[in-house]
Amino acid sequence: MNTTAPRKPDGGRPTGRQRRGRGGAHRVSAAPYLFLTPAVVLFTLFTAVPVGYTVYLSLRKIKVSGLGLGKGSRQEVFVGLDNYVAAIGDAELWAGWLRVLGYGTLVLVVMLGLALLFALLLDSAHVRLARFSRIAIFLPYAVPGVVATLLWGFLYLPSLSPITKVIEIDLLGSGTVVFSMANVAIWGGVGFNMLVLYTTLRAVPRSYYEAARIDGASELQIALRIKIPILTPAIILTTVFSIIATIQVFTEPTALRPLTNTISSTWSPLMKVYRDAFVTGDLYSAAATSIVIAGVSLILSFGFLRVVRNRAFGEG
């Protein structure tokens, strides 16, 4: 009996179908990069390049020769970290950080607390008009920040506001303006965070809650012992986003500033960047300050995540 294996056609060379298969594999492996190309290009043009140019400006400064008149009297020179040293040692910037710290603490606690409360109420088994309530709570988030601030600003004006006539308190005074700004941020931010938490709850199987009710658990016990632990990752996510947004507060104080004398042009760090860049014309100092603000945002965000992770592992 002939046990010799049959020879492959063409002396063992791969067939046309095999060659096409190999070529197809190469095309498939290149497909993800083709899909990623638009995102990479957009990221490079609108994020990496602007950040790189900001870093470049932060390391330079205009040097004035003589009286600053005539051609060549003003030259851009490399100054290293001098702009960063000046930014870190700026008393106005640190005063802005302290104001933002108080403002952010108030906003984070109240906004995320209300968002969690509304999400739990809307996910309750006995809630009525859930669809209308979701829309009503989320609707303020759809209002642009400048428009929302101006709407509330006119409600704060003593000469126009029906609120001040009832409570007889100047809502734009030096002791209350922080609470007035925080109210605008809370009014606009609760809906978004509520929607994130509520969507997470809706993804949980209803059988978990039914089993707890069969065991005799009340709605409050279900919320505290089942829903909130499940919501922990979503709460962490919304907290990180809220920290970043609070550090970068700009719209509320800027829009309310023409209505009162209690908000300075450097009330928040970003307002100082705007003043340095577009009022005094010092782009180099503004660039260094903006890099410092970005660094603080990263430190606080990653620091919060580190603390949460350590606590989670410690409890585990």
> In this structure, what CATH number is given to the domain that contains residue 219?
1.10.3720.10
Helix (H, G, I), strand (E, B) or coil at 77: strand
pLDDT of residue 130: 80
Each residue's pLDDT, cut to its tens digit, for the chain (316 residues) gives: 455 555 555 555 555 555 555 554 445 578 888 889 999 999 999 999 999 999 999 999 888 766 556 666 678 788 889 999 999 999 999 999 999 999 999 999 999 999 999 999 998 867 778 888 889 999 999 999 999 999 999 899 888 888 877 887 888 988 899 999 999 999 999 999 999 999 999 988 888 888 988 888 888 888 889 999 999 999 999 999 999 999 999 999 999 999 999 999 999 999 999 999 999 888 999 999 999 999 998 998 888 888 887 776 665 4
Query: How many domains does the structure of the chain reveal?
Result: 1
Indicate the pTM of the whole model: 0.81
Tell me, yes or no, whether 101 lies in a domain.
Answer: no
Tell me, yes or no, whether 295 lies in a domain.
Answer: no
Tell me, yes or no, whether 283 lies in a domain.
Answer: no
Tell me, yes or no, whether 67 lies in a domain.
Answer: no
Tell me, yes or no, whether 214 lies in a domain.
Answer: yes
Per-residue exposure over 41-56, b if at least 16 CB sit within 10 Å of its own CB, e if not? eeeeeeeeeeeeebee
For the chain, how big is the Rg over CA atoms in Å?
A: 29
Tell me, yes or no, whether 26 lies in a domain.
Answer: no
Residue 235's domain spans which residues?
109-263
* Cα(287)–Cα(31) distance, integer angstroms: 39
pLDDT of residue 165: 78
Helix (H, G, I), strand (E, B) or coil at 40: helix
In 157-268, which ranges are continuous DSSP H helix?
162-167, 177-202, 206-214, 219-222, 228-247, 251-256
Tell me, yes or no, whether 119 lies in a domain.
Answer: yes
Tell me, yes or no, whether 121 lies in a domain.
Answer: yes
